[in-house]
Structure 1
Amino acid sequence: MNKQQLASRIWEAANRMRSKIEAHEYKDYILGFIFYKYLSDKEMKFFINNHFKKEDIQALSEAEIDDVKFIKENVGYFISYDHLFSTWIELGSDFDVSNVRDALSAFNRNINPSHKKVFEKIFDTLQTGLSKLGDSSSSQTKAIRDLIQLIKVIPMDGRQSYDVLGFIYEYLISMFAANAGKKAGEFYTPHEVSLLMSEIVADHLKDKKEIKIYDPTSGSGSLLINIGQSVAKHIDDENSIKYYAQELKENTYNLTRMNMVMRGILPDNIVTRNGDTLEEDWPYFEDNDPLNTYNPLYVDAVVSNPPYSQAWDPSNKESDPRYARFGLAPKSKADYAFLLHDLYHLKPNGIMTIVLPHGVLFRGGEEERIRRNLIEYNHIDAIIGLPENIFFGTPIATIIMILKMTRNTDDVLIIDASKGFTKVGKKNKLRACDIKKTVDVVTERKSLPKFARLVSKEEIRLNEYNLNIPRYVDSSEASEKWDIYSLMLGGIPENEIEDLHEYWKAFPGLEEKLFIKGDGPRTLAVDDIREAVKTHPSVIKFVESFKSSFESFEDRLRNDLIDGFESVKITNEELLLSDDIFARFEGLPLVDKYDVYQLLDDEWTNIAIDLEILQTEGFEATKKADPRMVTKKEEEVQDGWRGRVIPFELVEKTLLKDESDHLHAIEDRIYEINGTYAEILDGLSEEEKESEGINEAKDSFLSSWIVKEAKKLMADKKKGYLIPEDSFEEKVLLINSLMMEEKQLKSKLKKESIALHNKTKTVIEGLSYEDARSLLEAKWIAPLLASIHSIPNAILDELVTKVRSLAEKYKTTFSEIEDDLCETEFALGSMVKELTGSNHDLKGLAEFMSLLGVE
């Protein structure tokens, strides 16, 4: 299975296994064991690469001082054979929780001195929390055994730029965050927000050779890692990035270290601290050597998602160099304390991004003073308003503030990105197009109507340093207009037709074709709007230009992704493809390039998964089928097969089309029979619906009664009884016949479905190179091209809808409505006059006639 499927499977099982343990606690156990497996597998790989024999590995112990020293110097630690993760699995029923306790204690003893800061006490949270996994040694043992059996399938070999292990680790962290309530904010920044910040920082640092990045509230470390991955796309050596992290909570601090180590970051490039960022700032030094280890820490980028509006102690910090220039944040809200801390640690050409609540933009008092100073000292570069309910643990809307130590402009870019998201469950989530659009606006530093505006320092001063986004960017939808003249007298207002000016500019002559122009409002000139639009010469030219722009795109996709799959740099390819697509759209009007980018990203997600598999396993992976695992009664069991790369459904639709069509025909006939049941049931009389052959809900027939009754009727028929046409008895016989047919068809469908499933597996395993290549084209390229080629029709359909809405809006005038009302009142009055009744009733009718104005 691919990494998404594997991650999902592990999460589902882990969530069941945690029982009553809180999600934010259980994550420490499963993630700790995954990390231990990683360290064990890494050491085993070192043994194999250095030609250790199995018996030599089994004989290694702490007593072998020279060998252990050699291993520690090269790996950073030593784990004896008895304590390896793979040995725990080999122990089977002999495994015990004491094996884990002994192994974790031994690990702390066997860390190389140069790696102490990376590994020391990294398993303390796991070690002290083992007792929470059960009330007794046996229950703890069972819980741990289940855990290690669950995670043993995670592959730790081969390293893509966004590897399987790293993906699963972040996936689990995000899922635990989604289930951890308010605790989630302590350790996780949603991946999409992290990616938005990462791409902005990466663009700023893209020309640097050596880079230092810092997160002073690092949580699980995912934000810092994502920044590093985005930066790495622009540089030749990703090992030239150095990571600094500080985290207050010890268990979360351990997650930071584990996460960075498992992403393949060199230990020498990891510098972490467990401490209170606001109270224990760098400069950093070792207690035993303060002079030689002194490091005031100035970095190229700082990224952070600190706790929002947290109380802090500003006492005696007036002279703290972090705050002295700008002011002290109020003790009830540390938001600006975190911001100023981040800013202080920037190099002269550095950049920082920080997530904060909206209040920092407009709150008064000390925060206003700090905000004024930041603006006057020219540090605030951009502000991005995010959608509400996007973070775990809080529904509030937040912002990303971008600051630089030095800038060559004094305006501030203000962006309202709050409208761009999709709903996923109960949370809102940034889409790929939202991220791309925002990053482009920031990096190109441009204004965009209803989205972004460059605001001068003078305008901000006039607003008394209030940076509230709606003061500068109006992203609200335009209110609907109604023209009183056209409502009363008819016709379509000129100014509302002019609102569609982008279409008239793109399609010269179309406006004149659709509307009759006069002295006043216009009228529609055609009966069939769609036909008039789609057959207009300028529209036809637009569609042809669009097609010609993408004539060579299919070849590009085929050459790069399929023929050249081995050399594709997956992390960069989507950007290269989007640049190509954007270039092809150059000069084509009306196309929203960010909508197109979303189409690309929707398809790219699946393409990238497949490319990772092919690059790791080779093209032969297209000919592999894996067990399809499903959960039944809380146990995982196999239910058929699934293609590792090529979906069974695609093979059946193409290479096994006749067999597949035959099965679909059977399914269609079963569906048709069920429809006939509904028709018969709907046509029954009320008396017939009271029959014993119909269930209490009156929505289905009882098969046992139908079969029994049909037998009686058939016997009577043989004796000469004539069944009346359209009688209930005739319907019973028809239903019985349909039920027999349905039963036979379902049996046939089940049998032939199994046969087709098995045949599909055989076909996949025997695919020729050309067939596999064609199937990849059908899976990767065809859907993307279909999405792109649907764009012109979508644009034209939108125009047709708008023109049709305009015509309908003013189709009926108020005077016509008034005439209709009068006619209706007159007709109603005439009918009322014919009514008879008591004097009491007639008096009421007379009053009603008076209200209608009818005599």
Structure 2
Amino acid sequence: MAKKKTEKAKSIEESLWQACDKLRGSVEPSEYKHVVLGLIFLKFTSDKFEKRRKELIEEGKEKYVEMKDFYTMKNVFFLDPISRWSYISKNAKQDDIAIKIDTALHTIEKNNPSLQGALPDNYFSRLGLDKAKLASLLDKINEIDTLKDADQDIVGRVYEYFLSKFALKEGKGKGEFYTPKSIVNLIAELIEPYKGIIYDPACGSGGMFVQSIKFIESHNGSKKEISIYGQEYTNTTYKLAKMNLAIRGIAANLGDKAADTFAQDQHKDLKADYIMANPPFNQKDWRGADELIDDPRWKGYEVPPKSNANYGWILNMVSKLSENGVAGFILANGALSGGGEEYKIRRKLIENNLVEAIVILPQNMFYTTNISVTLWILNKNKKADTRSIGEESRNYRNREEEVLFLDLRLIGEPFEKKFIQFGKGDIYKVASTYHNWQQTDSKYEDIPEFCYSATKDEITKKDFSLVPSKYIEFINRDENIDFDSKMTELQNELSQLLHEEEQSRKELLDVFKELGYEI
């Protein structure tokens, strides 16, 4: 008997995309992800509610299945009958289904204070979705078991996927980056956010926090020993972050509203033990010409240049670190060797022994940009001491006058054909190298094309450049040309040429005006 050919199971993202594609003509493509996330949240919370309800029945507590406390004690939202997916699914073909969805979301938010300001407000009614197409989307979501894989960040995955589909249409400069999970896992394994305060100044959909909690749980820790603080500029993303954390029972202070971290810092006096961030790359005109000049976050350093926010983000994070705080964050490679105020700030960071590690990541790790980027590790206490990570105690050597450089461009595995991600083995290799370098009883060694521990004297001789290829030995590739620095140099030359051209144009216009010509 011939074997029946089985089709490869579609991912949740692919299934949702196909269903959303049917919305064409009745809603703008840029709205797809918000439609889907509202519904996937409704399905996810309902699935968790029904699972808890079933547990109560199996435990012989059937008389308690409509009592809120028996759900909240397990970090499960209690849902009124009109907010349950079974009710929405049953009424999917009704003319007023959009109103029923809005009512369901509003009721959930009203009954659960941790969701205040997180859910869409009359969103589905205002969109005017085609009823048949919305019903088709509901049918597709109804097929998804949102609890099938507890380790997957479903909300974040869906958000990331929909961002990739509309990255070009929505624009890459909006800062709506969902950091790939394998990068967040790497940051968590490096800085080990085990106990204390975690802060993210550009928290996006909250992915950093989700993976931090998973790190804690994997080391048999308790999320009760962590306090989470964040801020997000985009209102829809702010709502998503609150939603993403709430459905996992993760308490967080994301400020009273969506707000600009520079202009409206909602955590001015915060001192964090851990900072994890992926701020927008190379933001232009991020502050007014006369604004923030005397901001206390720049104390002891030059004022970051108005033309690029990279060092504004760095100093914001430095100002938020506690005495023993550690920060792991992503930046564009240009920040490793820029001139002007950036050079002066970078030099001061190195002289103050704050830079602990610089890690070059592979290209094609992000959905929304294909450039290679850098992971920075800053540490307020690089001196020798003893620290506990879970049940493990480590003795740290004094690396105060050194910086570890790592090049991961040859590491990673294919992901969804054209992307790269880190496997568990990759993360283990990098994290163990970093922690071995930190510890007194380890046998760390520099490895060509992978890692190098540079002294402050070496970095000073390289004029405070943090480009890894200036330090790591390369034996199998021609690395005589520093492509990162060369690109920065070419960009600077182009900017200078454009500036000179603009000046010449203005001078020429002035000459014509003096001759009496109107231009």
The normalised TM-score by structure 2 is 0.75
Matched with 1:30 is 36
Displacement of 1:53 in angstroms is 6.0
**How far apart in 2 are the matches of 1:430 and 1:351?**
24
Displacement of 1:450 in angstroms is 1.9
Alignment counterpart, residue 287 of structure 2, candidates 313, 326, 343: 313
Displacement of 1:71 in angstroms is 8.0
The residue type equivalent to 1:278 in the other structure is F
Displacement of 1:17 in angstroms is 3.0
Matched with 2:187 is 197
CA deviation profile, 1:712-756 (whole Å, cap 9, x unmatched)? xxxxxxxxxxxxxxxxxxxxxxxxxxxxxxxxxxxxxxxxxxxxx
Displacement of 1:471 in angstroms is 1.5
**How far apart in 2 are the matches of 1:360 and 1:343?**
15
Change (3 A) 1:105 1:233: closer
Q: Report 1:680-719 matches (<5 A).
A: none
Alignment counterpart, residue 45 of structure 2, candidates 31, 39, 44: 39
CA deviation profile, 1:303-328 (whole Å, cap 9, x unmatched)? 11111110211634343222112222
Displacement of 1:68 in angstroms is 7.7
Q: Report 1:432-443 matches (<5 A).
A: 432=423, 433-443=425-435
Q: Report 1:357-372 matches (<5 A).
A: 357-372=332-347
Higher helix share: 1
Matched with 2:205 is 220
Change (3 A) 1:30 1:198: same
Displacement of 1:430 in angstroms is 3.3
**How far apart in 1 are the matches of 2:474 and 2:164?**
29
**How far apart in 1 are the matches of 2:176 and 2:38?**
17
Find the residue that maps to 1:175 and give its secondary structure.
helix
**How far apart in 1 are the matches of 2:76 and 2:413?**
44
- The higher relative CO (CA closer than 8 Å, separation ≥ 6) is in 2
**How far apart in 2 are the matches of 1:228 and 1:402?**
20
Matched with 2:491 is none
**Contact 2:277/2:329 (8 A) holds in 1:** yes
Q: Report 1:439-478 matches (<5 A).
A: 439-445=431-437, 446=444, 447-475=446-474, 477-478=476-477
Matched with 1:172 is 158
**Contact 1:46/1:75 (8 A) holds in 2:** no
Matched with 1:16 is 21
The residue type equivalent to 1:435 in the other structure is I
**How far apart in 2 are the matches of 1:369 and 1:300?**
26
**How far apart in 2 are the matches of 1:335 and 1:272?**
22
The residue type equivalent to 1:90 in the other structure is K
CA RMSD of aligned residues (A): 3.3
Displacement of 1:401 in angstroms is 0.6
Q: Report 1:663-742 matches (<5 A).
A: none
**Contact 1:23/1:179 (8 A) holds in 2:** no
Find the residue that maps to 2:359 and give its secondary structure.
strand
Displacement of 1:349 in angstroms is 1.6
Find the residue that maps to 1:360 and give its secondary structure.
helix
**Contact 1:299/1:345 (8 A) holds in 2:** yes
Q: Which has the larger radius of gyration?
A: 1
Change (3 A) 1:77 1:403: same
Q: Report 1:539-550 matches (<5 A).
A: none
The normalised TM-score by structure 1 is 0.47
**How far apart in 2 are the matches of 1:217 and 1:42?**
29
CA deviation profile, 1:113-171 (whole Å, cap 9, x unmatched)? xx2xx31122226x33554463xxxx1x32332222222233356884x1xxx443333
Matched with 2:234 is 249
**How far apart in 1 are the matches of 2:462 and 2:41?**
52
Q: Report 1:416-815 matches (<5 A).
A: 416-424=407-415, 427-432=418-423, 433-445=425-437, 446=444, 447-475=446-474, 477-478=476-477
Find the residue that maps to 1:155 and give its secondary structure.
coil
CA deviation profile, 1:463-506 (whole Å, cap 9, x unmatched)? 22122222212436257xxxxxxxxxxxxxxxxxxxxxxxxxxx
**How far apart in 2 are the matches of 1:385 and 1:6?**
30
Matched with 2:366 is 391
The residue type equivalent to 2:93 in the other structure is S
Structure 2 spans left out of the alignment, 5+ residues: 1-5, 384-399, 438-443, 479-519
**How far apart in 2 are the matches of 1:452 and 1:82?**
57
Matched with 2:84 is 84
Structure 1 spans left out of the alignment, 5+ residues: 58-66, 285-295, 480-855
Matched with 1:231 is 216
**How far apart in 2 are the matches of 1:471 and 1:133?**
57
**Contact 1:380/1:404 (8 A) holds in 2:** yes
**How far apart in 2 are the matches of 1:391 and 1:32?**
24
The residue type equivalent to 1:313 in the other structure is R
**Contact 2:44/2:147 (8 A) holds in 1:** no
- Decide which moves more: 91-100 or 18-27: 18-27
**How far apart in 2 are the matches of 1:82 and 1:5?**
30
**Contact 1:379/1:405 (8 A) holds in 2:** yes
Task: Say whether 1:299 aligns with 2:272.
Answer: yes
**How far apart in 2 are the matches of 1:170 and 1:400?**
21
Matched with 2:120 is 124
The residue type equivalent to 1:460 in the other structure is I
**Contact 1:317/1:323 (8 A) holds in 2:** no
Change (3 A) 1:402 1:80: same
Displacement of 1:105 in angstroms is 3.6
CA deviation profile, 1:541-593 (whole Å, cap 9, x unmatched)? xxxxxxxxxxxxxxxxxxxxxxxxxxxxxxxxxxxxxxxxxxxxxxxxxxxxx
Change (3 A) 1:18 1:386: farther
**Contact 2:41/2:155 (8 A) holds in 1:** no
